[in-house]
Amino acid sequence: MTFRNSIVLTISCLLLATACPAAEYLSPIAVVADGQILYVAESTASRVDIVDVAGGKVSGSISLDRNPTGLALSPDKKTLFVTADGPDSSVHLVDIGKKKVSGSIDVGHTPMSPVATPDGKRLFVCNRFDNDISVIDLDKKTVTKRIPVTREPVAAVLNLDGSTLFVANHLPKGAANVDRMTSVIDVIDTATLKVISSIPLPNGAIDLRGMSLSTDGKHVYVPSIFARFLVPTTQIARGWINTHALNIIDANAKKLLWTVLLDDVALGAANPWGVTSSADGKTICVSHAATHEVSLIDTEALLKKLEPIPARATAGLTIPEYESLPENPANSLSFLTGIRRRVKLPGNGPRGVAVVGDQLAVTQFFSDSIALVSLKPGESGIQSIALGPEQEMDTVRKGQMFFEDASLCFQQWQSCSTCHPDVRTDAVNWDLLNDGIGNPKSTKSLLNAHKTPPVMITGIREKAEVAVRAGIRYIQFAMPEEEKASSIDAFLSSVKPIPSPYLVKGKLSKAAERGEKHFKKTGCILCHAGPYLTDMEKYDVNTTDGMEKGKELDTPTLIEVWRTAPYLYDGRAPTMLDVVTTFNKDDRHGLTSKLSAEQLAELAEYVLSL
């Protein structure tokens, strides 16, 4: 696989902040190929493994000082770029010949998806939680610029000539109490190093993980979850709650062309993650993290079938008009019938993908292995290469696996992680029926949920253990198995927060220190107190309206609140500053009306630093 198609895929076990022992589990997350050699990022083992595909074994390892999140090869194949997790982290430069780290370059918070330019002079790195892209001069080995993007950049790819960088943003940005919420693809001009446009995906296209350029350079492929958040969750069949899609972007026009559903009529293809094209361009390959399979799509047949359907780039219609077209493939669960092959993998938790010869290599996160799927027409062979000795999973590891497994769900339409990616929020509102119908509410992060009962925004579940089992029953439409549910409890209880990007070298900024004083003076600390910054009580703080008017809401924890925008019960507040200003009528949510604009900004910065 060439450097331009290297897929760098996100989220290691450490980024989820689980208790997975590094010495016990490997958790392969990303993979790149150089001939018959694979380089595999082991996201809980602080190393990159070198796999000899022909020999079917691991031939060596490259030790790192942190857990890797992403990989890319330099155009000359002499250097492997490895991003490492954590705040204030770095990209490691690995000398391929010597098989060791030759240097590192500091970048940002949770870097991933390194992408080298065709001339090998620059490297772009997504800093997920800094919401920006680092531009690295590889001759000087320094960051020359940081380019702000929309929200949580997790994957990037250059066009063939290197003039345009496409960036996939994991989650949507803005208020959630609206009819349209979607992640966007930011487009960066690599000459000016500026975002020149943002490409909105269809309504509900969220939770982006991977991205690739087609072999001929004409299209950019972006898998996504397709959340149908505008309807109550009264059923799940036929993708009523979530479907899953492949978004196809015109790389030259820089516009979305089509969105094609990856599911079948009675079988979901949950949580698509990695994507790439075969070397000859004849096959588009997509991994499905929650259903443990890959989709192999006939490229020519797909484009031919799409040809008579007006592309969004040229249809001359508004976005809602286009999306309502009966022939829109984003509404058809049978569109890929006959032109796509779903291949079940031997392991669990596929993530990164790379083409090696006439095979597709797929990392299997929970199986600590690589699956090799034949791409030859008419062949269905699958091999598996173990990356280490087989380990018995502890309860926490099992819980993470079940949390991300759509086989617990009726017709495998979704997993717990579909709406709670990385245990946090998908940034949209859902009408879950647990407290009536017609009152959608924001998806809550599950961080510390087991330590801060009651749960749900209205506190309708007395504790998280009840909510886990109710979620399996009423959201996944399946009977909860106690062993799996209790394992999920153990996993969620093990999750720890990660440091805020608002911290400066791990400490509060000067502005945030002043904000802490405002936090106490305004009375915020009265309800947001204790180790989890919540008194676990319910109050009416005048933030509700409509049928929810006057309802008491559970006091949310403020731990890691920087990560969970938008805010308030229905996501009406896009930013924390909106919480303490626009949506704090009559000072019912803290005595903030007497603060100056500067003091309000300091208060918001403090809260976002927690």
Q: Could you tell me which residues come within 8 angstroms of residue 433 by beta carbon, excluding any fewer than 6 positions away?
A: 232, 233, 234, 474
pLDDT tens track for 215-238: 999 999 999 999 999 999 999 999
Domains of the chain: 3-396 (2.130.10.10), 397-494 (1.10.760.10), 510-608 (1.10.760.10)
Rounded average pLDDT over 182-205: 97
3-state secondary structure of 159: coil
Is the pLDDT assigned to residue 32 strictly greater than 70?
A: yes
Q: For residue 68, say if its preceding peptide bond is cis, omega within 30 degrees of 0.
A: no
pLDDT tens track for 134-176: 999 999 999 999 999 999 999 999 999 999 999 999 999 999 9
The proportion of the chain whose per-residue pLDDT surpasses 70, expressed as a percent, equals: 95
pLDDT of residue 6: 36
Is the pLDDT assigned to residue 353 strictly greater than 50?
A: yes
- DSSP-derived letter for residue 264 is B
Is the pLDDT assigned to residue 15 strictly greater than 80?
A: no
Q: Could you tell me which residues come within 8 angstroms of residue 428 by beta carbon, excluding any fewer than 6 positions away?
A: 172, 176, 181, 204, 206, 227, 229, 442, 443, 571
Please count the residues of the chain: 610
Is the pLDDT assigned to residue 295 strictly greater than 50?
A: yes
Is the pLDDT assigned to residue 21 strictly greater than 60?
A: no
pLDDT of residue 291: 98
With cut-offs at 50, 70 and 90, classify the pLDDT of residue 311: confident
Is the pLDDT assigned to residue 61 strictly greater than 70?
A: yes
What is the pTM (predicted TM-score) of this model? 0.94
Is residue 37 within 8 A of residue 96, CB to CB? The reply is no
Is the pLDDT assigned to residue 566 strictly greater than 60?
A: yes
Average pLDDT, the chain: 93
Of residues 512 and 544, more confidence is placed in: 512
Of residues 3 and 435, more confidence is placed in: 435
Is the pLDDT assigned to residue 22 strictly greater than 70?
A: no
pLDDT of residue 454: 96
Is the pLDDT assigned to residue 573 strictly greater than 70?
A: yes
End-to-end CA distance of the chain: 42
Is residue 268 within 8 A of residue 243, CB to CB? The reply is yes
pLDDT tens track for 435-489: 889 999 999 999 999 999 999 999 999 999 999 999 999 999 999 999 999 999 9
Q: What is the arrangement of strands in the sheet containing 359-364, beginning at the earlier edge strand?
A: 350-356, 359-364, 369-374, 382-386
pLDDT of residue 313: 67
Of residues 330 and 365, more confidence is placed in: 365
Q: Could you tell me which residues come within 8 angstroms of residue 307 by beta carbon, excluding any fewer than 6 positions away?
A: none
Q: What angle do CA 365, 345, 84 make, to 5 degrees?
A: 20
pLDDT of residue 380: 81
Is the pLDDT assigned to residue 10 strictly greater than 80?
A: no
